[in-house]
Chains A and B, each alone.
Chain A
């Protein structure tokens, strides 16, 4: 099984609708990174969360890390066609109080926004 589970795998929404993507780990997250990607291209950094309960927003995108630091959500308000793409969560996972010092990724969520 994956160390990091991302859901849903794909999402189709009408422009203007809100949506949420989830990222869950069975281990403690020392850092949780959200990226956006266009098909076949590099990763665009969105946000990074480290503290339990932390929430960050940028324009219409909000990301949260739960208190236990094992789950994060990415919420888009009033989606637009420009939000379409692949969303990836990457986690700095560790054990015994120490980070592994590398990112482990979820499977990605393909977002389609219909005008």
Chain B
């Protein structure tokens, strides 16, 4: 089966610019997660979707970050405006149903804000 697809693979932007990341989960996976991993740290959950509804967005900086999963399939994470401290790897993961069957991660998007 195809894995979790993410794009772009790398992105460099200037501070105050906006950026968007895209994720296509494994077909049939109801739960989708976005994680932020600042280099040198473990991944931190930003938002969790169950189908097209938000389960947990408690750690999403909502003043600048937004995410959607309109049709319950692919998802977009946006940052506007970006800050230097947003430089990180953004990982998308999916699971069949809230962890059931395990978690599959994409290759990540490495964001550098200059």
Contacts and interface: CB of A to CB of B under 8 A. Distances in A.
A96 interface: no
10 contacts: A40-B110, A41-B107, A42-B106, A43-B43, A88-B43, A92-B99, A101-B48, A102-B99, A104-B45, A105-B43
B94 to A, nearest CB: 12
Given A43-B91, A102-B48, A48 B102 contact: yes
Contacts of A30: 99
Listed residue (B33, B98, B105) with the most chain A CB atoms within 10 angstroms of its CB: B105
Given A42-B108, A106-B42, A107-B41, A101 B55 contact: yes
Identify whether the interface residues of B are mostly helix, strand, loop, or mixed.
strand
Contacts of A34: none
Interface residues of A, number: 25
Contacts of A88: 42-43
Contact of B39 (A33, A39, A45, A99): A39
Given A33-B102, A41-B110, A99-B99, 10 more contacts: A6-B42, A40-B110, A45-B102, A48-B102, A99-B98, A101-B99, A102-B99, A105-B35, A105-B42, A107-B42
Nearest to A33: B103
Interface string A95-115: 000010111111110000000
B89 interface: yes
Interface string B71-101: 0000000000000000001010101001100
Nearest to A89: B42
